[in-house]
Amino acid sequence: LTECILQNLYIYMSPISSNIIASQSMAKQWKIQESDFAKNTFNPIRSLLKTLKGNANPSKDLIDLSLGDPTVFGNLKPHENIIKAFEDSLRSGKYNGYGPSTGHAIARKAVAEHVSIPGAEVTADDVILTSGCSTALDHCITVLAGKGQNILVPRPAFPLYKTLADGFGIESKEYSCIPERNWEIDLQSLEDAIDENTAAIVVNNPSNPCGAAFSPKHLKDVIRIAELHKIPIIADEIYDYFTFSDDFEFVPMASLTSEVPILSCGGLTKRFLVPGWRLGWLVIYDRNNLFLNSGITNALERLTQRQIGPNTVVQGALPAILKETPKEFHSNTISVVKSTAEMVFRKLEGIQGLNPIMPSGAMYMMVHIDSQYFPQFSSDMDFVKKLIEEESVFPLPGKCFNCPNFFRIVLTTPASLFETAFERLEQFCNRHRVPSKSLKLEFDGGFDSTLSMSSFYQPDTEEFHRQSEASEDEGIKLKKNVSSVNQMSMFKKRSVVSREA
């Protein structure tokens, strides 16, 4: 009898239970949504590469001048000793497992020996290996700054700084760089950007996208400001020693100060032509133990535990790569890029309405689009979009670097492709250019001194305005020497500007 009652009760309750479950299922919704970190993370270069390339003219092969990968065209290859070092590491079987999160000791020691110079000596304990220089920058930014704080970054700048900071609620405050001075940092702009929430100053030397290389004197001026305000420096030195002349010889920032703590970021990517191997490093310069005593050094080690170190096979090859890659390999690469830069500059200065700025290092050239000649384009983005649609030539718009009315060209592109790109670019400009009624240029050597870089790139400082006004009173002597890169300003048919002694 009891069993019969229970069976009937089960039959009676089953539809009720099913209805309750169904009702609860209908009431609940899937709680799947992107995190705030993901929402705030955006890389404009990667986004543009995906969208703009798809708009290329199908009747013309795409010439991509946008991506800062020196290996993409196959004309620049790693030295055979680099390849052999990797093969030896792989065949040894010693580096197939996990390594320490900060990197294998022998690899860290090799980096320490590689970067140490008189006045900036370090040991293996001062080196952290990372998955590319990007991860080194990520560690530096996130160890020094938190939500509600800010880091100071250059304008124009590699957008990754902002990408890395935004996700964590860290503000990227900009300081201006002056194109009329080979993109030197506007020191007043830098100092004006500092406030009580500033956690670090990012300095990129040699620089992407400008190709600037700073003198020791200029770097000391920046260091002086950092020391005055007691703010550490993040030195992005991935293009170390990649400069075009002795006038712009690279000097590690940490070698110029014994007071300011510096986190320097570098790697194999650019000079050794292996960006896909993802081997970078972070070097801690902390002579007065400011990082150590504040917990930064230990915090950096904890941050490395989120990714457990870079590629171990490349770590195994690192000592041989750094010691056995001949200096001639690096100098030959620089010679190729410098020669390309000079050729590109000569070609571009022959296109009315475009004003190239000759770089002094790295792999890039910035080119100004004179909107007075191209009024139908609303922005540099619009200019580049139409250039891709009509001619399948793809430089990177200045918008990516918060530098309006410019585009960036990558100088590791083969010369033969550049020739085709220039033909198309010139045809494009000839089709769209209109005579400018407001320009008063004399191409025999004189020009209206009121038309300066400040008319299209405006660092917001009184000092810059004062310098521009002074140029009118004193006069500016123009030189035709397009290969000189240690003067002040670049213009169409005016190449390099310097003041009379």
Q: How confident is the model at residue 10 (pLDDT cuts 50, 70, 90)?
A: low
pLDDT digits (tens, 9 = 90+) for 417-426: 999 999 999 9
Token pair, residue 438, equals: 């407001």
Quote the CA–CA distance of 392 and 388 in Å, as a whole number: 4
Fold of 80-325: Aspartate Aminotransferase; domain 2 (3.40.640)
Quote the CA–CA distance of 238 and 333 in Å, as a whole number: 15
Q: What pLDDT is recorded for position 18?
A: 58
Average pLDDT over residues 182-198: 98
Architecture of domain 44-73+328-429: Alpha-Beta Complex (3.90)
Between these two residues, 73 and 307, which has the higher pLDDT value?
A: 73
Say which range, 20-34, 352-366, 451-465, has the weakest mean pLDDT.
Answer: 451-465
Say which range, 57-61, 193-197, 463-467, has the weakest mean pLDDT.
Answer: 463-467
Average pLDDT over residues 376-395: 96
Q: What pLDDT is recorded for position 46?
A: 75
Mean pLDDT, the chain, as a whole number?
A: 86
Q: What pLDDT is recorded for position 386?
A: 97
**Which segments of the chain belong to CATH 3.90.1150.10?**
44-73+328-429
**Which segments of the chain belong to CATH 3.40.640.10?**
80-325
pLDDT above 90 for 17 = no
pLDDT digits (tens, 9 = 90+) for 118-144: 989 999 999 999 999 999 999 999 999
Average pLDDT over residues 23-30: 74
Say which range, 317-326, 391-400, 417-426, 471-480, has the weakest mean pLDDT.
Answer: 471-480
The pair phi, psi for residue 71, each rounded to 5°, is: -100, -5
pLDDT above 80 for 51 = no
Q: What pLDDT is recorded for position 445?
A: 33
CB-CB contact of 405 with 458 (8 Å): no
Quote the CA–CA distance of 214 and 251 in Å, as a whole number: 8
SS3 393: strand
pLDDT above 70 for 1 = no
Q: What pLDDT is recorded for position 91?
A: 98
Q: Is 217 exposed, middle or buried (0-12, 13-18, 19+ CB in 10 A)?
A: exposed
pLDDT above 80 for 469 = no
Q: What pLDDT is recorded for position 385?
A: 95
- Give the closest residue to 178 by CA, choosing from 488, 501, 448, 492: 488
pLDDT above 70 for 153 = yes
Q: Strand 63-64 vs strand 496-498: parallel, antiparallel, or unpaired?
A: unpaired
pLDDT above 80 for 74 = yes
The amino acid that residue 443 corresponds to is F
